[in-house]
Structure 1
Amino acid sequence: MIGFDPEAIRELLSIPDQYVPALMITIGKEDISSQRVRGYRKPVGEFVSYNQFTVK
């Protein structure tokens, strides 16, 4: 996603100063009305954190 304010994002997500927000990716909600069989899907909790900044 382009056109975002990195400093505002840094403050909103409490990102430490040594990191630079350079890219944003939007994640939508699943449409459960038309589910289809899929292969393995990595659980969202493994790569998304909410209301915090974590360093792994």
Structure 2
Amino acid sequence: MGVGDYETMAITVKLGKKSGRTAEAILGVDSYDVPTGAETLSRDGLERMGLKHW
């Protein structure tokens, strides 16, 4: 993906009758500027490398 590209995702939540029928969620993303070849590093590995992230 390039700069300005985006992806969408559909999330379906089914609540039981006893739940009160409401749900709340906060969603976010932690995006790193990853160099080629570092795609499989863990978050800790990326932070140790000092990579820029948002």
Fold match (TM-score > 0.5): no
Q: How high is the TM-score relative to the length of structure 1? A: 0.21
For normalisation by structure 2, the TM-score amounts to 0.21
